[in-house]
Chain A
């Protein structure tokens, strides 16, 4: 079945549908969202279930997708597919992998996510690189394209991806409160593997206003414009005031910066890939990182008590901040990897050493 990707500048890309095809309920509308690209060559199950992609239509630049099927839920990064739609060059319907449970197409259909193949994803990516990210819609079969365009940056999307109530993982002595702004499962796995307990709390939960044991706090990655997360910013500001060891990852890093009085800004087309080089300004060591963000911390906006910890070797944007004498640290990239390289995994050890 033919499908279309319509961009906000009027461009139309024709493709073959391999995800959700027909309206399943009354008032079913075409999908719309922010169109972004990721250049990673592996890891579609992880990316598709990464809550940071909430509200986004994802283009995967590697031209073959579906090669190894879809693994069990235990390997996902959240309970469902988070992207609004998927765009690929070629879809592979004959996967091969010992962990595969179903094909990518079957999965997308089950979860009701539209997907198109046969689109010149390189052309599309070049377009986004030149013009910056755009909004777009996926229209399958004879759906009307006349629908309101959704923009995930115009509202606070954290309620859609966060948990409802606190939940405990692991049985370590020390407790890390994890503010869930759309956390990836592998962050939790990475922490409990290191012998700590993790209490996952909703995005607007105030850790200091509860009776939870609070050895440290991790502010998770997530989707959207960080400035929309007003409640979280306020709660984190209190944590900083109380000198609670805090680690921000991705959106968490931006929230930390905002809580510390700094500013953030939107990148032209963001960093979404598994090959982003960052350098530790303190140790001068460079590592390759997995990234997925559209906003960045403006280093100039932060007070002098913060130092620039990591910078991106390609475009020199900020990739991490660290307080000069208090136990606050944040990175823009994903030390938990999944998908992507785990070179930054040692940062969890550094964080835990704060406790």
Chain B
């Protein structure tokens, strides 16, 4: 094998997220160590695997059979890895195998053979195969039609579970209780897949997973087992998961382990796979639910939970190594053929962001909705659970804080806290077990925590109670509140009494052998803090503590991991001892070799202080790096500054001047830089009065939200009133910020680095969508293609003034509005922004590396050209609306995308098309549906509509749009609104698959709760998988791209063919 092609997973989406950056990066690392040339296809520009250090050649292209085939023809690799890029890579590989591409080009599929993959992906084949070795799968049948499904239902009775094959994150599956639900569910599923499984519903069975590794010789191990706290029926990605299992005895643990090995042997897996079981809690009956013949979310979790580098080992096994030949990468002395022994407990909790969506359903089930996760490590269940709760960064501390509706015990995102409230109300473990199916073991633990938390108020403050609280995982903050002291008072009291957490290693062998790596966590269940081993640094070496980004969530994901990891690498190259803190198992920053030491820990002030204390006590000046992990570390700046910790880069006082709206606004006024009029208000009446003064529309940002989404645009006083009511009121404690919403303004971002207030490097990007679409949902173009030079000059000049005034030293990002050749500042971030990887990789200059050097005091004086480039980079958002049932997919001021891609092209059209194809867009072939609200929008769309007609598309349109187009002599077919109750309605059209592309531009802002005709159209497009555009500028850009480019025109060029990489 000389040259190997690796497929990535593309943009982060629900069900397929950061874990594949981890797995792909490890695979590339393994290949690099072997001296094998690598080619990577992955359009996800924010990943670490798409950095120049890891892959030989990188193609920022869609991972689809068309593009992968083109790259194969060009690169002629000897082998291909399909198992490191999630379901996307696997599906793409299966398609290429089917069309004979691998055979034609003589490419070996490495790792698990395609035939085995096909078996695991086809539920019917899988069931057949397992019956050959007498292993049980759920009873039921397979249906290709609704009628077949009904027949199966007749045989087995309700309730039943419907599941679809070939899908990531359990899309389309769910429990059905009657015939109507079955018909609905199956018909939706069958639109996406050719076959569904209709199975017995194993109510309240336990769900247990094993991660299994097997080599080509048949040596096999299970690296980790995991128990879902939530019973079967809740997707494992939606479940609270513990490792190792807590309620299984030796017989059950090893019985399922043995079955895992038996199944994997029979399937002939080579590398890594995941197997899921259902286990009857009343006896030892079991079912094999599924096998994922690839690295998965669970395998990333298992890797981090055990210290066993699953992806790295899987890659080596794919190259033909045998397991006993490989070494344990943690001890460096023992064998990689072993099963990790944990002497700690691990808990994973998913992070949901459903409040970002309008009309999203809160219930969780067999489909995945979470956008990220955290993992906590400790030595008691309560300690770990509480850590994990805080790691989520949702403001929750303890189990009883916050407001929530505890009347329903349905499986919702808030379930854990509802259970806690129910205990407080006096419900018993048995009551809650009966409704939730959560094993009483977990419920007893939760109950104990609740009892302690509720007794705190009436307890006397003492050394004993603080010690007990810390062992149960309570934060200083929560204790401070209970005992009416400050967080710092609690901290000082603790330290005085020697109540401090101890450092422990994750060493894979429960201390049986010494670890040579520093994979660490803190616990209050221990007396001894372990000295770190294998230190390559001297005790007096300067140390940098880099804070990672915490859980992936909407608005903060893999891009900040790239920033953190890149910063850590730069610091290491500068010979600092680098200490990483992060708590997200889907990241590369939590690989124990990304830094000299890794603390898999909370990013709270308390924990960061604990680590700062520990590291400072060991000698060597420790500094904190807060600028690369997004907003979570950035928010700690002021507290850390007050505590006297050394912080690299821009002073926290200046960060505060930028983050405090009032201070920043005054500064802008002083600098004579314009900003939209705004005010922070504490009563609804004041808010309405202010909005009246500045004129509608206004942007509304309440500081506290109960449900529904936070940010909105109000077009009238009544709308404003509605939003404020939804926002759980407005008070002096929870003020609302009202600002002028500028219509038809362009949005521009500048990313850069400053050194002591002087601009070092910058990149200006423009948004395709006009202001009103959150910058995280916008399509970004670099270098800008449609900006006036005058605007660029103004942006630069304003930026320079701000940098100077705030004495910025490090990374920054400023967002501007531009209208009529005038610019307004809307936001400043004194940290690396979401777009740092994009601007770095498009311009070829590593902004994070430059920023890190500047923060260390290094002078960077180079001439950077970021404006006059021979190519265009386009960053496009990835949405996961298909996962969030009921959510309105229209773009708004609140961010809803879950990931992004970026592609290169010689012009805007080419790179735009590649980028949206990389987010799952399908090229329209025959027909387009148009529904354009409002006169202005219609007029604006006219040239684009004409172009569509010229391109030969059949146009369908709703009443007004249709009439408008006819008047303009654009031939089209009118379809009826759903409310008109006439045939053919829009829905008929969509459902029959007669539309390749839907463009639905609505006039006013969507109002929550009202089911408009537009909403029904949009939602159906999402559910039916029809490409949908809801933004006018996007529609125009798309149509102009369709007019100028065909698939064949999209060039297959690698990153280094576009960008000069020295």
Contact of B526 among A98, A99, A123, A285 (CB under 8 A): A123
Complex interface bits, B231-267 against A, C-beta within 8 A gives 1, otherwise 0: 0000000000000111111110110011001000000
Which residues of chain B come closer than 8 Å to A123, judged between CB atoms?
A: 526-528
- State in angstroms the CA–CA spacing of A343 and B338 once bound together: 13
Q: Report A134 CB to chain B, min CB distance, Å.
A: 15
Known contacts A120-B525, A277-B335, A342-B258; decide if A67 and B246 are in contact (CB<8 Å): yes
B binding-site residues for A, Cβ under 8 Å: 217-219, 221, 244-251, 253-254, 257-258, 261, 281-283, 323-324, 333-335, 337-345, 379-381, 439-441, 444-445, 448, 502, 504, 509-514, 525-528, 530
Complex interface bits, A201-226 against B, C-beta within 8 A gives 1, otherwise 0: 00000000000000000000000000
Tell me if A32 is interfacial: C-beta within 8 Å of chain B. no
Counting residue pairs across A and B whose Cβ atoms lie within 8 Å, the total is 163
Which residues of chain B come closer than 8 Å to A17, judged between CB atoms?
A: none
Interfacial residues of chain A within 78-123, with CB under 8 A of chain B in the complex: 89-90, 92, 94-99, 120-123
Q: Which residue of A lies closest to B219 (CB)?
A: A286
Contact of A288 among B217, B249, B338, B379 (CB under 8 A): B338
28 A-B pairs (CB sep. < 8 Å): A39-B511, A40-B250, A41-B341, A41-B342, A42-B248, A61-B343, A62-B342, A62-B343, A63-B343, A63-B344, A64-B381, A67-B247, A71-B249, A89-B379, A96-B247, A96-B439, A122-B511, A126-B511, A126-B528, A126-B530, A129-B512, A129-B513, A274-B341, A277-B221, A288-B337, A315-B334, A341-B339, A343-B261
A binding-site residues for B, Cβ under 8 Å: 13, 37, 39-43, 45-46, 61-64, 67-68, 71, 75, 89-90, 92, 94-99, 120-123, 125-126, 129, 273-277, 279, 284-286, 288, 313-315, 337-343
- State in angstroms the CA–CA spacing of A277 and B325 once bound together: 12
Which residues of chain A come closer than 8 Å to B509, judged between CB atoms?
A: 39, 275
Q: Are A122 and B250 in contact (CB under 8 A)?
A: no
- State in angstroms the CA–CA spacing of A329 and B527 once bound together: 45
Which residues of chain A come closer than 8 Å to B525, judged between CB atoms?
A: 63, 89-90, 120
Q: Are A90 and B380 in contact (CB under 8 A)?
A: yes
- State in angstroms the CA–CA spacing of A313 and B509 once bound together: 14
Q: Are A284 and B345 in contact (CB under 8 A)?
A: no
- State in angstroms the CA–CA spacing of A45 and B248 once bound together: 13
- State in angstroms the CA–CA spacing of A97 and B249 once bound together: 8
- State in angstroms the CA–CA spacing of A121 and B926 once bound together: 69
Q: Report B511 CB to chain A, min CB distance, Å.
A: 4
Which residues of chain B come closer than 8 Å to A338, judged between CB atoms?
A: 250-251
Which residues of chain B come closer than 8 Å to A274, judged between CB atoms?
A: 339, 341
Q: Which residue of B lies closest to A341 (CB)?
A: B254
Q: Report A35 CB to chain B, min CB distance, Å.
A: 14
Which residues of chain B come closer than 8 Å to A92, judged between CB atoms?
A: 441
Q: Which of A37, A98, A285, A286 has the most CB of B within 10 A?
A: A286
- State in angstroms the CA–CA spacing of A59 and B453 once bound together: 31
- State in angstroms the CA–CA spacing of A276 and B323 once bound together: 14
Known contacts A61-B511, A123-B528, A314-B338; decide if A42 and B253 are in contact (CB<8 Å): yes
Which residues of chain A come closer than 8 Å to B502, judged between CB atoms?
A: 120
Query: 10 shortest A-B CB distances, which residue pairs?
Result: A43-B250, A339-B250, A96-B441, A313-B335, A94-B444, A123-B528, A39-B510, A39-B341, A314-B334, A275-B339
Q: Are A125 and B511 in contact (CB under 8 A)?
A: yes
Q: Which residue of B lies closest to A269 (CB)?
A: B512
Q: Which residue of B lies closest to A98 (CB)?
A: B282
Q: Report B141 CB to chain A, min CB distance, Å.
A: 30
Which residues of chain B come closer than 8 Å to A275, judged between CB atoms?
A: 338-341, 509
Q: Which residue of A lies closest to B338 (CB)?
A: A277
- State in angstroms the CA–CA spacing of A297 and B218 once bound together: 28
Q: Report A13 CB to chain B, min CB distance, Å.
A: 8
Q: Are B343 and A39 in contact (CB under 8 A)?
A: yes
Q: Are B249 and A42 in contact (CB under 8 A)?
A: yes
Q: Are B381 and A285 in contact (CB under 8 A)?
A: no
- State in angstroms the CA–CA spacing of A153 and B186 once bound together: 68
Main secondary structure of the interface of A (DSSP, over half): loop
Which residues of chain B come closer than 8 Å to A13, judged between CB atoms?
A: 527
- State in angstroms the CA–CA spacing of A286 and B218 once bound together: 9
Q: Report B330 CB to chain A, min CB distance, Å.
A: 12
Q: Are B379 and A90 in contact (CB under 8 A)?
A: yes
Known contacts A94-B444, A122-B526; decide if A129 and B511 are in contact (CB<8 Å): yes
Contact of A67 among B337, B441, B511 (CB under 8 A): B441
Which residues of chain A come closer than 8 Å to B334, judged between CB atoms?
A: 313-315
Known contacts A96-B439, A314-B335; decide if A337 and B341 are in contact (CB<8 Å): no
Known contacts A122-B526, A342-B254; decide if A286 and B248 are in contact (CB<8 Å): no
Q: Report A174 CB to chain B, min CB distance, Å.
A: 27
Known contacts A42-B249, A343-B261; decide if A61 and B510 are in contact (CB<8 Å): yes
Q: Report A239 CB to chain B, min CB distance, Å.
A: 32
- State in angstroms the CA–CA spacing of A275 and B337 once bound together: 9
Q: Are A62 and B510 in contact (CB under 8 A)?
A: yes
Contact of A95 among B253, B441, B512, B514 (CB under 8 A): B441
- State in angstroms the CA–CA spacing of A83 and B440 once bound together: 29
Q: Are A122 and B249 in contact (CB under 8 A)?
A: no
Since A89-B379, A120-B528, A122-B343 are in contact, a sample of 13 more A-B pairs with Cβ atoms closer than 8 Å, ordered by chain A residue number, is: A42-B254, A61-B343, A61-B511, A62-B244, A95-B441, A99-B249, A122-B526, A125-B511, A273-B512, A277-B324, A314-B513, A338-B251, A341-B257
Q: Report B103 CB to chain A, min CB distance, Å.
A: 32
- State in angstroms the CA–CA spacing of A274 and B323 once bound together: 18
Which residues of chain B come closer than 8 Å to A46, judged between CB atoms?
A: 250
Q: Report A338 CB to chain B, min CB distance, Å.
A: 7
Q: Which of A43, A64, A285 has the most CB of B within 10 A?
A: A64
Q: Report B546 CB to chain A, min CB distance, Å.
A: 27
- State in angstroms the CA–CA spacing of A43 and B248 once bound together: 9
- State in angstroms the CA–CA spacing of A196 and B28 once bound together: 53
Contact of B246 among A61, A64, A98, A120 (CB under 8 A): A64
Q: Report A44 CB to chain B, min CB distance, Å.
A: 8
- State in angstroms the CA–CA spacing of A273 and B335 once bound together: 15
Which residues of chain B come closer than 8 Å to A41, judged between CB atoms?
A: 244, 253, 341-342
Contact of B339 among A63, A68, A288 (CB under 8 A): A288
Q: Which residue of B lies closest to A121 (CB)?
A: B343
Q: Are B217 and A68 in contact (CB under 8 A)?
A: no
Q: Report A182 CB to chain B, min CB distance, Å.
A: 19
Which residues of chain A come closer than 8 Å to B338, judged between CB atoms?
A: 275-277, 288, 313-314
Which residues of chain B come closer than 8 Å to A313, judged between CB atoms?
A: 324, 334-335, 337-338
Which residues of chain B come closer than 8 Å to A42, judged between CB atoms?
A: 244-245, 248-250, 253-254
Q: Which residue of A lies closest to B440 (CB)?
A: A96
- State in angstroms the CA–CA spacing of A306 and B513 once bound together: 30
Which residues of chain A come closer than 8 Å to B261, judged between CB atoms?
A: 343
Which residues of chain A come closer than 8 Å to B444, judged between CB atoms?
A: 94, 96
Which residues of chain A come closer than 8 Å to B380, judged between CB atoms?
A: 63-64, 89-90
Q: Report A196 CB to chain B, min CB distance, Å.
A: 22
Q: Report B601 CB to chain A, min CB distance, Å.
A: 17
Q: Report B985 CB to chain A, min CB distance, Å.
A: 54
Which residues of chain A come closer than 8 Å to B512, judged between CB atoms?
A: 37, 39, 125, 129, 273
- State in angstroms the CA–CA spacing of A343 and B344 once bound together: 25
- State in angstroms the CA–CA spacing of A90 and B219 once bound together: 35
- State in angstroms the CA–CA spacing of A64 and B444 once bound together: 14
Which residues of chain A come closer than 8 Å to B282, judged between CB atoms?
A: 98
